[in-house]
Amino acid sequence: MSTNSTTVVRTQAELDKALAANTGLIEIRSPAGVWLTVMATGSSTVMATDSSTVMAAGSSTVMAYGSSTVVAYGYSTVRAYGSSTVTATDSSTVRAYGSSTVTATGSSTVRAYGSSTVTATDSSTVMAAGSSTVRASSCVAVHLHSGL
């Protein structure tokens, strides 16, 4: 198995052959209307439709629709719609709609709508809409002052 090469498949038979050969990287270029079933050896679960792109590892669960792009690791759970872009790690939970962009880590929970941009870490919870930009974490800012 070469880790530098990509095997391109267009049919279920080609995909099954590539999986049986333990191919490192498989690119699926099936024609419109052709459905392929992908079985993973890990515990990630992926459902991708239309022209969505998904990379999942660990025990992540991803549902991607439209032209969304998702990268998910760990125990993250992602639902991505429209042209949203999501990177989720650890045990984060994300729902992204429209053209939103989300980066979520830790045990953060995010719902992003419209063209919002969200970075959420730790155990933060965020709901963002419109063209908002949000950075959230469980850290608290502490201001130090010199004594009088």
Residue 54 identity: V
What is this structure's pTM?
Answer: 0.74
Nearest residue to 84 (alpha-carbon basis) of 73, 70, 63: 70
Reading the block at residue 126, the tokens are 């965020």
**What distance in Å separates the CA atoms of residue 71 and residue 55, rounded to the nearest whole number?**
5
Nearest residue to 37 (alpha-carbon basis) of 59, 60, 70, 14: 14
Interval 25-54: pLDDT, tens: 777 888 877 777 765 546 788 888 888 888
Q: Decide: 108 and 123 in contact? Cβ < 8 Å.
A: yes
Interval 47-84: pLDDT, tens: 888 888 888 888 999 999 999 999 999 999 999 999 99
Unique residue bearing structure tokens 């995010």: 110
